Structures are given as C-alpha cells and as structure tokens.
Amino acid sequence: MIRAIAGLTVALLMAGLSMADDHPVILLYHHVSEETPASTSVSPAVFDQHLEYLAQHNFTVLPLGEIMLALQNDQPLPEKTIGLRFDLQRSVSTLKRAKLAVHRFRQH
C-alpha cells in the first residue's frame, strides 16, 4: 500500500509544478486488474487507494470531456483538477464507475 501511494504522490508532486487552473493533470491507467502484467497494471485495491488519496487531499476529478471543453472555451477549472484516462475502457468501466461513486467523484 505504501509503495502504491508513494508512486501516486510522486506523480502528483511532479505534476504540481504545472498544476494551475488551466493545467489539469491527467492520470493514465492502462489496466486495473490483478490478472494483467504488473508492469502495466494496478490492482483494484491500489486503484481504490489512489482514489482515496485524491479524495483526502481535495482533488477535483472531472470527466476528460468537461476538462477539454473548459480549456477550449478558456473557462477556469477548479484548483487541483484531475482527469482519469483508461486505455482499456471496456475492461474497467464497471469497476471504475463503482470506485468513483464510492469516492463521490463524477462518473465519466
């Protein structure tokens, strides 16, 4: 657990250098599974830890479409805006929706 959160924390700290109202951070997940290679995957438990971290540290998770629309129309975004991107949308959509709902992040 500590290693998973440490990795996310480092990524967010590095991204924080450019995080501003017009610079959201996009977290990319290739697989959320225990059945795919660890080099390209996080387990559902680790994904849940990532969402918990984001919730506890007051990040705003928005759908990518909403982020893009705001940027295209020069509209401000909330501070600490995060977008989540899943390479294999079909394989994680049910899990993703459930996890996002638990953390009260809007589903995309």
Range of the domain at 82: 2-102
Identify the three-state secondary structure at position 30.
coil
In a domain, 17, yes or no: yes
In a domain, 108, yes or no: no
Q: How many domains does the chain have?
A: 1
In a domain, 66, yes or no: yes
CA 23/CA 9 separation, integer angstroms: 18
Query: CA quadruple 14, 3, 90, 99: dihedral positive or negative?
Result: negative
In a domain, 107, yes or no: no
Question: pLDDT 10s digit of each residue in the chain, 108 long?
Answer: 555 555 565 565 555 545 555 588 888 888 788 888 888 888 888 888 888 888 888 888 888 888 999 999 999 999 889 888 877 655 555 566 656 766 667 654
CATH number at residue 50: 3.20.20.370
In a domain, 80, yes or no: yes
Exposure letters 42-53 (e unless 16+ CB within 10 A, then b): bbeebbbbbbeb
CA 50/CA 4 separation, integer angstroms: 8
pLDDT given for residue 5 in this prediction:
54
**H or E stretch covering 60:** strand 60-62
Counting every residue, how long is the chain? 108
pLDDT given for residue 69 in this prediction:
93
CA 83/CA 28 separation, integer angstroms: 9
